[in-house]
Each structure stands twice: as C-alpha cells, then as structure tokens.
Structure 1
Amino acid sequence: MTVALMWEARAAAGRGEELLSWARAQELPARPARRETFRAPQDRVLVITWWDAPYDADLPELPEPADGLVTRAVHRWRFESLEDA
C-alpha cells in the first residue's frame, strides 16, 4: 500500500522564501519512496511524501516551523493511494 502524507503551512508576511527553504532543508529519519515540495500564492508551502506502508503506520513527518515563521499551525493530512496514473 502507498500512503501519502501532506504537510501544508502558510508563511508569515514576507517570509515565504524562508519557509520554503526551511521545508526543503528538513531531513526525515527515514527516506520516503518519493518527496515533492510545492508553493502557492499567499506564501503557502506544501510537502507531500509517499511511503510504502500500511495506512496507520507510524511515519515521520515534517515538524512545526519555529514561532513567527508561519501564520497558523501546520495542516496535515494522510491519504491512501487507490491506483497509479
């Protein structure tokens, strides 16, 4: 089974590039099958990691950024892959 973990944060005003750099620099204790980083308007950063694991597996996730770097708590979602495209 493939599980995708999504991590999304919105940077504090004027700190979008800093948040993007911070997210890219985060090392996970295990290597996912795949990892992609995205950005969107309003200084949002999204990181998706794919894991070959059961849906409820204990998987490493990116941490919360330091206070002041984001405008709100990080949003996190977990998805199960249903098919390959």
Structure 2
Amino acid sequence: MFLRVARQDNYNYYIYFKVLIETGMRKGEVAALQWKNVDFKKGIISIEKTLDFQAKDGEELFGLTKTYDSKRKIKIGDSLLKELKTI
C-alpha cells in the first residue's frame, strides 16, 4: 500500500523507496546511484558511493561508502529492473 501511494504522489520517491525495500541498500547509497551503476543486462546495481546528508555548503556531497566492504554489487529482481528501464 505504501508503494502504491508513493507512486501516485511522486514517482521519484516511489522509485527511491522501491530500491530501498527491494535491495536493502542504505538511503545514502540509493541517493548516490547513477545510471552507470546499473547493469541492465546482468540485473546488478554496483554500490560505489554514498550521499552525505550532513554535508555543509562547499563540502563534497558524495563520498566513499560507509566501510570498504560496503562497496558491493547487488542483484536486483525483474520487477525493479523493469521499473528502472521505464525511467
């Protein structure tokens, strides 16, 4: 129900929350995703950076992941892959 309402209200938020729910990624990792991080052929998202929500003016907004092991690849399901292809 939550995703249904989010989709009706704001499609960007819907995709953001869908990725969070289906992958277990951290919110900063999802916010830092770029198209180059999505491998549509293999159905994989590569996590390389995170968004620093606490960054002050002039500070770097995107930084390294929380830990070295946080840099990883996550397999995504067909429904999420299909949604990402439509954007």
TM-score band by shorter chain is under 0.3
Greater RCO structure (CA 8 Å; 6+ sep)? 1
Higher helix share: 2
TM-score, with normalisation over the residues of structure 1?
Answer: 0.24
Higher strand share: 1
